[in-house]
Amino acid sequence: MMQRTTLAFLEQLQKAHWFSRVGVHDTVDAIVLASWREAVVLRGSIEWQDLRLDMANAYSRRLQERSKERWLKWNDTVVALKKTLIPFVRGKIDPVVREYKLPHAFEHTVQWDMLHACMETEHADVCPTGFYANLASWYIKGHFPCGWQGVFPQGIQIIY
């Protein structure tokens, strides 16, 4: 059973118009790319992949330190969330994937981001949300977060 906060977060994600502002320079809080091609290439960079994995692992470690009981249920929570998230994400991204012929890896990136944003939300009563909640905020604003410039946490988000 998902936390109420997670259900509310999923509702917020559902109402948002993902990718509706890609390429639009509407923020000073990120570097805005000019094309899906650039975004897809950057999304696949080792640096971005490593940062995302490091942040997921760091969150899991913090949860383990703060609530071993909740951490031991991590995999069960992932399985339960994926049942909702996989079709949800597919439905949200399908139009843009078809229109721009985006690679299958794009779907995996978005699924990973949303899964970890939901995991942060699901455990926010134990560990505050952070990196993935921030990524989700870019999706909600209509952008695609696809990289980081600088040495995290210094630096700046890169979005399309």
- Residue 89 to residues 10, 13, 57, 81: CA-CA distances in angstroms? 11, 10, 22, 12
Amino acid 152: pLDDT? 96
pTM of the model: 0.97
**Section 24-44 average pLDDT:** 98
- Residue 144 to residues 34, 89, 114, 135: CA-CA distances in angstroms? 12, 13, 12, 8
Percentage of the chain beyond pLDDT 70 is 100
Amino acid 16: pLDDT? 98
Q: Is the dihedral of CA 96, 98, 103, 107 positive or negative?
A: positive
> Does 5 fall in a domain?
no
Instruction: Yes or no: say if 152 and 51 are a contact pair by the CB < 8 Å rule.
Output: yes
CA 7 – CA 4 distance, rounded (Å): 5
> Does 56 fall in a domain?
yes
Q: How confident is the model at residue 58 (pLDDT cuts 50, 70, 90)?
A: very high
Amino acid 1: pLDDT? 82
Instruction: Yes or no: say if 148 and 156 are a contact pair by the CB < 8 Å rule.
Output: yes
* 141, pLDDT greater than 90: yes
Amino acid 43: pLDDT? 98
Amino acid 146: pLDDT? 98
Q: Which domain holds residue 63?
A: 17-159
> Does 49 fall in a domain?
yes
Q: How do residues 40-53 score in pLDDT, each as one tens digit?
A: 999 999 999 999 99
Amino acid 30: pLDDT? 98
Q: What region, left, alpha or beta, does residue 34 occupy, with left being phi > 0 and alpha being psi -120 to 50 degrees?
A: alpha
Amino acid 116: pLDDT? 98
> Does 39 fall in a domain?
yes
> Does 36 fall in a domain?
yes
Total domain count, the chain: 1
What mean pLDDT, rounded, does the chain reach?
97
> Does 1 fall in a domain?
no
**Section 90-110 average pLDDT:** 98
CA 15 – CA 111 distance, rounded (Å): 17
CA 12 – CA 154 distance, rounded (Å): 28
